[in-house]
Amino acid sequence: MSESKLSFFQTVVAFFDEAARLTSHSPLLLHQIRACNSVYEMNFPVKFGKDRYEIINAFRVQHSHHKVPVKGGIRYSEMVNEDEVKALAALMTYKCALVEVPYGGAKGGVRIEPRNYEPDQLERITRRYTTELVKKNFIGPGIDVPAPDYGTGAREMAWIFDTYSALNPGQIDAAGCVTGKPVEQGGVRGRTEATGRGVFYGIRHVLSYAEDMKKLGLSSGVEGKTVVIQGLGNAGYHCATSFYDAGAKIVAIAEYDGAIASPAGLDPREVQEHRKATESILNCPGSQNLNSSQDALEYECDILIPAALERQITGENAPRIKAKIVAEAANGPTTAEAEQILYQKGVMVVPDVYMNAGGVTVSYFEWLKSLSHVRFGRLSKRFEEASNLSILNTVERLTGQSLSDEEKSQVIRGADEIDLVNSGLEDTMINAYDNIREVMHSTEGVDTLRMAAFVLAIDRVAISYMQLGIFP
């Protein structure tokens, strides 16, 4: 079958098979890792008015039970289908392995266009979907833990938590049944921003390897780099603000209804304000509209960040991509055929399985918080500050020098929850990239970051299965 005809799931399987050939695991074990363990399709009625019902089609796929709970977001989109959810669930397995969070992969999808529903209608759909998951034991802090994805956010996660709690009265760890909750509902600070911020930490680290950047004709460092972002949603917006704050120039932004550009650079916060006021990014002051949303992908830039949906960079438009780095904030934005073309053009593709793993990393932190019932830093912040102050007082006494009050408060400050979350996220993104890069340089036949990421993930999942004693 020609690569452009491959479905999303078949594309993920093709990447897996290519990488699997470079490992030494048995065909049986590889078969077990590749296959989706459980696929649950549901159709349920939701009543919206006196005589108005709709039958909603939805899915939850648990790709791998090598570790439990399984974990993965819930997507609301009218393009949701079984193949897509299976692909996204499989990517979650490899992603969790890469960032060493102890989960198997899963994903959920509800086939609706959320823009066509009022909030109270979305609430009914979300609560009924959760009830369906509870009925089949497809949700729970130790079973399967959803999170936000395309078309969902903290609001939907709060509804899921509330529905699950109502159906499981007295379950003390109920808050661990879902992540991405509002902070007031047991969420963790920094989760909303985590996917976009993780993309930033990852790319900043990629850019720090001067020798790799030299091959691409780029200098190291984020400052002054030109960036194009497709999709100003959760992943894209927080990614854009992180790059903007670090001195990169956001030269174009694409949304579903069109794209805008400015060679002088766009301020993503201003674009978002304009979008809130006018319901579109188009005609934002200080920018010009491009002919189409797709034009932004081909815009001259150093870093292209697809942060919307899968299959955006294809065999058709890949030859015209001008970016030197493609940072896959979205899942599956590059087809296998496009990947080949980009490789031949010398473009570095930083793959989704690594690039957007900041979301699940901070979801893991939130899950730990939910199970421990205590805010990160609560027990240590004041103790740290007292220790730092006593060290500082000793140094001041011994040297006869003293700091200003402002310098003093900076030096003694103990870590808040957000500091710890961001520090854990940054550390995770740096370590995971170094591990993937090391595999790329040390494994014969591996010449892209995606293949290296898959080889590493397959090895880690395989070890898990072997340690369970199921496979030799």
The amino acid at 265: G
Tokens matching residue 138:
């497809």
Residue 322 · residue 389 · CB < 8 Å: no
Nearer residue to ligand NAD within complex by CB, 71 or 124: 71
Q: In this complex, which beta carbon is closest to ligand NAD, that of residue 115 or of residue 441?
A: 115
**Buried b / exposed e along 81-96 (16+ C-beta atoms within 10 A):** bbebbbbbbbbbbbbb
11 binds ligand NAD (CB under 6 A): no
**Nearer residue to ligand NAD within complex by CB, 255 or 426:** 255
Q: Does 207 interact with ligand NAD (rule: CB under 6 A)?
A: no
**Taking the complex as a whole, how short is the minimal distance between the CB of residue 306 and ligand NAD, in angstroms?**
8
- Those residues with Cβ within 8 angstroms of residue 169's Cβ, 6 or more apart along the chain or in another chain: none
Q: How far apart are CA 336 and CA 333, in angstroms?
A: 10
**Shortest Cβ 394–ligand NAD spacing (Å):** 44
The question of whether 107 is a catalytic residue gets the answer yes
Q: In what order do the strands lie in the sheet with 226-230?
A: 288-289, 258-266, 249-255, 226-230, 303-306, 325-327, 348-350
Alpha carbon distance 154, 162 (integer Å) = 12
Active-site residue identified among 107, 225, 249, 369: 107
Using the rule CB under 6 A, which residue among 331, 334, 335, 428 binds ligand NAD?
Answer: 331
Residue number with CB closer to ligand NAD (330 or 446):
330
- One-letter amino acid at 296 equals A
Q: Which of 232, 266, 440, 452 binds ligand NAD (CB under 6 A)?
A: 232
| Site residue total, ligand NAD (CB under 6 A) | 25
Collapse the DSSP code of 240 into the 3-class scheme (helix H, G, I; strand E, B; otherwise coil) and give the result: helix
Interface pattern 172-201 for ligand NAD (x via CB under 6 A): -----------------------x------
CB of 438 to ligand NAD, least distance (A): 24
Between CA 467 and CA 469 the distance in angstroms is 5
Interface segment toward ligand NAD; rule CB under 6 A; list 4-12, 148-156, 220-228, 340-348: 148-156
Binding residues for ligand NAD, rule: CB under 6 A, are 73, 148-151, 195, 230-236, 254-256, 293, 307-309, 329-331, 356, 359
